[in-house]
Structures are given as C-alpha cells and as structure tokens.
Amino acid sequence: MANAPQVFTTEPAQGFIEAGHGGAPKHVEPSLLGLEPYQIVSVAMLVLLAIVFFVAKAHKTIAGGLDSRIAAIRTQLDEAKRLRAEAESLREEYAEKIRFAERDAEAMIRTAEHEAAAILETARVEGEALVARRQRMAEDKIAGAEREALAEVRVRAAQAAAEASRTIIAQQHDREADRRMTDEVIASI
C-alpha cells in the first residue's frame, strides 16, 4: 500500500502524542483555532441554535407557503366537489328531462296513431257517404231521366192519340155529325 492515504497509516500522528511520565505516550486533545474542545462544542451549539432560530423562521415561511398551497388545494378540491355535485345534479336533471321527453314522445306517438286511426275512420265514413251521395245523385239523375222519358213518352203518346183521334174523327164524322154534336152541346148549356 504504497499510495494509501495517511488515514490508514499505522504510525502515530505527530502532535497528538506527547512524551511524558516514564516515556508513555500521553493523549493530547486537538484544538481548533486555539479553542479547547468544550469551547468548540459551545460554539457549535451557538451555531446550531442560530441555524435553528433562522431555519425555524424559514420553516415557518416554508410551512406558511405549504399551508397556503394546502389551503389553495383544499379550496380547489372543494370547488371540484361543488362542481361535481352541480354536474351530477345537472346530469340527473337532464336525465329526468330525457325521460319526460321520451314519455312525451311516446304519448305523441300514441296520440298521432289515434288521430291517424280517427282520420282514416273519418275518411272511410266520408268516402262511404260520398259514394252514397254520388249513388243517390246518379239514381236521382236516372229517376229524372226516367221521368223526362216518361213525360216525353206521354207527350208523344198524347200527341199520337190526338193525331189518331183527329184522323179517326175526320174519317168518321162529317158535317152532319158535327152539327148534331154542336146542337147537343148547346142544348146541354
């Protein structure tokens, strides 16, 4: 171990061993900046207390900052909970509206089906009534045409009868028969 650091050497350190009392080595306390060990401990305690004092203030500042972050996060969480509750209430409200809308749509469909059935029934009844009216009108026209035909037939029959009676009267009656009839009519008056 030629290159080993001095920490691992087995030789006693110079300055820490003092000769005395029959040649026995005496332990010598190390000193730092001319201070004794109890003085070094006192200075270290003062430094530690100063650090604790200043760090405690820093700790309060850090704790205050963390507390404010915690409060902000808690506020955000509360806001998130409130927003979630609002969203859930809105979701429930809209779900209820959707249910009502579905019920209304079903009711509208049923109403429309009933109205369509009623319209079809009305159209069927009106169609039958129209057919019946048209049939009556056709029958009335036919009856009118029959009446006109009968009237025309009667008129022609009357004309034919009058013509036939003239012809018959003209053939069978002469002047003498006319005079007799005239005298009978005058006598009856």
pTM: 0.36
CA atoms within 13 A on the CB side of 80: 6
Q: What is the pLDDT of residue 53?
A: 75
In tens, the pLDDT along 68-82 reads 999 999 999 999 999
Distance CA 175, CA 187 (A): 18
CA atoms within 13 A on the CB side of 129: 6
Distance CA 135, CA 60 (A): 108
Whether the Cβ atoms of residue 12 and residue 25 lie closer than 8 Å to each other: yes
H-helix or E-strand spanning residue 17:
strand 17-20
Distance CA 167, CA 160 (A): 10
Distance CA 137, CA 51 (A): 121
Residues in a beta bridge with 29: none
Residue 135, classified by CB atoms within 10 Å of its CB into exposed (0-12), middle (13-18) or buried (19+), is exposed
Given a cut of 70, the residues of the chain with pLDDT beneath it are 1-31, 56, 173
173 token code pair: 């009656």
Q: What is the pLDDT of residue 4?
A: 46
Distance CA 130, CA 126 (A): 6
Spatial neighbors of 95 by CB under 8 A, at least 6 apart, are none
Q: What is the pLDDT of residue 100?
A: 92
Q: What is the pLDDT of residue 2?
A: 52
Q: How many residues does the chain have?
A: 189
45 token code pair: 């305690």
Whether the Cβ atoms of residue 25 and residue 17 lie closer than 8 Å to each other: yes
Q: What is the pLDDT of residue 18?
A: 53
What residue ranges do the domains of the chain occupy? 13-165
In tens, the pLDDT along 79-98 reads 999 999 999 999 999 999 99
